[in-house]
Amino acid sequence: MPQQRTGEVQGFSSSKLTVLRKHPYFSDLEPEAFDQLCRYAKHVTLKRGAAIFSKGDPGNSLFAVISGTVKISISSPDGRNAILNLIGAGEIFGEIALLDGSARSADAIANNACELFTIDRREFIPFVRSQPGLAMKFIELLCTRIRWTSDQVEQVILQNLPGRLASALLRLTEKHKLAPQGRTIAITQQEISEMVGMTRESINKQLRAWAARDWVRLEHGAIVVLKAEPLQSLVDAGSGDEGE
């Protein structure tokens, strides 16, 4: 992974440490245990487009996002891409290969300029073993990831374009519901097309139809969900005309 700037956590502001301190998986740690976790963490800054890890790489680190967005994706030999997830500030990623010791199952790329904390597997695994409560939280995290993936598979197989797109928008807003401007999704139309498995042109046509109904608002590099209820109705119906 390219590292533009790396340093020990102790040298950085408390506002950045808050990412770890307030994270639901680390918030219940005793002060001594949290201090130990911070000693393991390294600070990394990455430019947009920088590869954090690639599919097949060894899973030797856990990552927490301080700022920016990380794209988790896979690609085919002919160059097609599928986005599996977008990881934003306050979230962690890289836990699957970290915990089972196998290779990375996808690519992770800095979707824009990012700041991360990274913790080496050699230090994190013994730490988790000493913290049973934290181990249970990571089991919960893995279950959440499985449900997210199952939802995506269900969309692609069973839902039409309006249902797929509406479901993706609602899941992304739900994911960030506690954040300021929680209904604003920092995602391009190309990225969401790669998430739902449709062309950018089809996505644009559908979003413009919804924008005309004031269900969404299109911004540069973002989509704002204005009315969740009609989108949820499309998800529940699972079918409908392209212009719905």
Read out DSSP for 56-118? Answer: TSB--EEEEEEES-EEEEEE-TTS-EEEEEEE-TT-EE-HHHHHH--B-SSEEEESSSEEEEE
pTM of the predicted model over 0.95: no
Report residue 230 as tokens. 């009609």
pLDDT of 241 over the 70 cut: no
Structure tokens belonging to residue 97 = 């290969």
Position 136, amino acid = M
**Backbone CA torsion sign across 66, 224, 238, 229:** positive
Domains of the chain plus CATH, in order, are 5-150 (2.60.120.10), 159-237 (1.10.10.10)
pLDDT higher at 242 or 71: 71
Does residue 173 register a pLDDT over 90?
A: no
pLDDT tens, position by position, 35-70: 888 889 999 999 999 999 999 999 999 999 999 999
The string of pLDDT tens digits covering residues 6-37 is 444 444 555 667 778 878 888 888 889 988 88
